[in-house]
Amino acid sequence: MITGTAAGVPYVALPPRTGRRLVLVWHLLGEPGTPEDMAATLPLPDLDAWRVYPALPLRDPGPDFLLDGYAPLVTEAADAVPDLVTALRGELGCAGPVDVVGGSAGGHVALLTAVRGEVPVRRVAVVNPAVTAESVVEASVAAASLPGYDWTPAARAAAEPLDVLAAADRLTAPLLVVRGADEYPAFRPVQEQLCDSVPGAKIVDVPGLAHMLVTRVDEVRAEVSAWLSD
């Protein structure tokens, strides 16, 4: 495992056997919640590619869950991708289109990267992804990690650019959603709507998998590896 910083983003990387393709894999905010843990959980050894695990820009929570925490975190991570890819190509010698992978909030970053189109994305594989800020807030309230939320005009404005469902027509790369059968109820409808909106998208429900990537990991690895091996 290689550690480094590219374009200001800390990362860990697993080198290929001979290939030069780049796969970016973003971790969750829960488990696995660091680049090192995500690399250990989802190493994707069957892919002859550079597998790079960037760190999400974690921050101390502020008074407003969305405005001070989730929205700037996801936005900053997605904004960093073009410079990150350029730097990684220089540092690691990887080339060509990029595959993007992520879980939960990391999946949100992967999806935003694909719909923005600022870097060429070959394939997308996300696990229990966040698709909209509204569903993230709803899930947090339902889990009692957030006592409630006041949707102010500022919050609505911050949520709008994070709405992958509204930008689904710009997601042209083949899309795989791996979802736990015990996924957050607030996430399931928007995940299904996203796959219905993207031609050729595939959704796989994994029995026994909850939102965090701590069970049934072998099945998740197999689905993601097969999707990115095409």
pLDDT for 207 equals: 94
Number of C-beta neighbours around residue 164 at 10 A: 27
Instruction: Give the model confidence (pLDDT) of 26-53 as tens digits.
Output: 999 999 999 999 999 999 999 999 999 9
Question: Which pLDDT value is given to residue 133?
Answer: 97
The yes-or-no verdict on residue 145 having pLDDT over 90 is: no
> What's the confidence (pLDDT) of residue 60?
78
Residue 10 is predicted with a pLDDT of 98
Task: With a cut of 80, say whether residue 20 has pLDDT above it.
Answer: yes
Give percent above pLDDT 90 in the chain.
91
Counting every residue written for the chain, the total comes to 230
State pTM to two decimals. 0.96
Q: Which residues contact 150 (CB under 8 A, 6 or more apart)?
A: none
89-108: pLDDT as tens digits: 999 999 988 999 999 999 99
pLDDT of residue 230: 79
More confident residue, 62 or 206: 206
CATH of the domain at 195: 3.40.50.1820
Q: Tell me how far apart the alpha carbons of residues 192 and 189 are, in angstroms, rounded to a whole number.
A: 5
pLDDT for res 144: 78
Structural domain span for residue 151: 2-229
Mean per-residue pLDDT over the chain, rounded: 95
User: Domain total for the chain?
Assistant: 1
